[in-house]
């Protein structure tokens, strides 16, 4: 089989090819009809996972140290964990080992999905658990709630963030710094008054003290 160089004729390019290309052959005509448009394949429909939801039985965490309760819950497969102050003072559980569990939001022995949140009500180790979790105050119907006996921090959290609030020591001339450690003695406006953006005044003492 001979190899030779052919010169393009009638549309043929100069190429080195095998014998058999005929330069006298008419050039191929381009089709007037455009090739059919191609479309991207439809994405495959999402396939929902058929993995069954894992469920576990809720243990009894009441009486445990908060850190130990959280470790136990994680060992049982629960990882959505939170906690709150059972006294209603809205204190943060900064060091879990210093707190103990008083309540839990899911009953002992109940079987629930492991993605369910477990919420522990807690108090400090030296404190006594209340008979039931104390509720933080909240505004209902646009009326001033009764804040007496509530922590200044919880009282502040119940009111609109734009509210102007003045807090003073009801007994001495001390500065009210750690508001979760102070309880409200008196308030203005009084409980039940309509809230229309007016300033709020609170007088408070520390929780281990009596209101004057």
Q: Which residues in the chain land under pLDDT 70?
A: 1-50
Burial of 30 (0-12, 13-18, 19+ CB in 10 A): exposed
CA distances from 196 to 96, 155, 193 (A): 40, 17, 9
User: What does the pLDDT read at residue 35?
Assistant: 56
At 109-119, the pLDDT tens digits run 999 999 999 99
Q: Which domains does the chain have, with CATH numbers?
A: 55-124 (3.30.10.20), 152-206 (no CATH)
How confident is the model over 171-204, as pLDDT tens digits?
A: 889 999 999 999 999 999 999 999 999 999 999 9
Give the model's pLDDT for residue 76. 97
pLDDT at 72: 98
Structure tokens at 53: 């939801």
The answer to whether 8 touches 14, Cβ cutoff 8 Å, is yes
């Amino acid at each position: 089989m001979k190899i030779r160089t052919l010169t393009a004729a009638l549309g043929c390019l100069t190429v080195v090819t095998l014998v058999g290309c005929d330069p006298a052959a008419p050039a191929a005509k381009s089709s007037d009809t455009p090739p059919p448009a191609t479309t991207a394949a439809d994405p495959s429909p999402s396939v929902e996972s058929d993995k069954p939801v894992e469920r576990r039985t809720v243990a009894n965490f009441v009486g445990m140290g908060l850190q130990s309760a959280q470790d136990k819950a994680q060992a049982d497969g629960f990882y959505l964990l939170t906690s709150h102050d059972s006294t209603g003072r809205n204190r943060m559980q900064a060091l879990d080992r210093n707190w103990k569990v008083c309540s839990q939001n899911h009953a002992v022995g109940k079987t629930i999905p492991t993605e369910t949140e477990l919420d522990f009500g807690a108090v400090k180790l030296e404190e006594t658990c209340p008979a039931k979790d104390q509720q933080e105050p909240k505004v209902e119907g646009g009326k001033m709630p009764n804040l007496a006996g509530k922590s200044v921090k919880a009282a502040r959290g119940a009111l609109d963030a734009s509210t102007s609030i003045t807090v003073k020591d009801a007994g001495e001339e001390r500065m009210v710094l750690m508001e979760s450690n102070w309880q409200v003695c008196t308030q203005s406006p009084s409980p039940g008054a309509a809230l229309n953006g007016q300033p709020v005044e609170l007088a408070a003492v520390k929780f281990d003290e009596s209101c004057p």
